[in-house]
Amino acid sequence: MKIKKGDEVVVIAGRDKGAKGKVIQAYPDRGKVLVEGVNRIKKHTRITQTQRGAQSGGIVTQEAAIDVSNVMLVHDGKAVRVGYKIGEDGKKVRVARGKAGLDKNGEPKEV
């Protein structure tokens, strides 16, 4: 999966289209990411007693996972596609694809 935890992304499809946020959690096995402030849902939880006597529960608002195909990485303020190339040290490096991901020499920029 090309989107990692800590990446800045923009939503490109769905009810939160255009919203930007930081990836809180990535689920590569399910192909989903959890984005801060995006795809918020209301979850109804049972009111329970804690050890100190306080009550917790009720209606809780939280983020839900969004499919990775509905987000794009933001690099230098622009949404870019992501690819990989082999760096000088022989390791895989993420690079931005397309015109927004090119530097002045026409080479892909590292993300």
Q: What is the pLDDT of residues 3-32, one digit of tens each?
A: 999 999 999 999 999 999 999 999 999 999
Residues β-bridged to residue 81: 97
Decide which of 2.30.30.30, 1.10.3720.10, 2.40.30.260, 3.20.20.140 is the CATH code for 8-101.
2.30.30.30
Instruction: Write the CA distances from 53 to 4, 48, 60, integer angstroms.
Output: 40, 9, 19
User: pLDDT band for position 54 (50/70/90)?
Assistant: confident
Write down the domain spans for the chain.
Answer: 8-101
Longest Cα–Cα distance of the chain, Å, equals 65
Residues 6+ apart with CB under 8 A from 107: none
